[in-house]
Amino acid sequence: MVSFYAQFSEEVTSHKIKILNVRGSHMHGVAEVFKIQEVMGNRQAERIPGLFFAFTSKKQ
């Protein structure tokens, strides 16, 4: 599985988010957004409902 990482502006959230469940091709699509938190040393993935991250990936 390919994971995409992104960070929204601080007014949206100060947490780094992990993009999972990519829909579409490897070059572009829409992904569901999960917020990754560490609580007492355990990582938790919390889905942010209704929030999607549209991305495009360009070959370098």
- Domain extent listing, the chain: 4-56
Half-sphere exposure of 25 (CA within 13 A, CB side): 5
Q: How many helices (H) and strands (E) does the chain have?
A: 0, 4
Query: What confidence tens digit (pLDDT) does each residue in 26-44 have?
Result: 444 455 566 666 667 776 6
pTM (whole model) above 0.85? no
Q: Which range is most confident: 1-10, 22-31, 33-42, 44-53?
A: 33-42
Whether 8 shows a pLDDT value over 50: the answer reads no
How many angstroms separate the CA atoms of 49 and 33, rounded?
Answer: 8
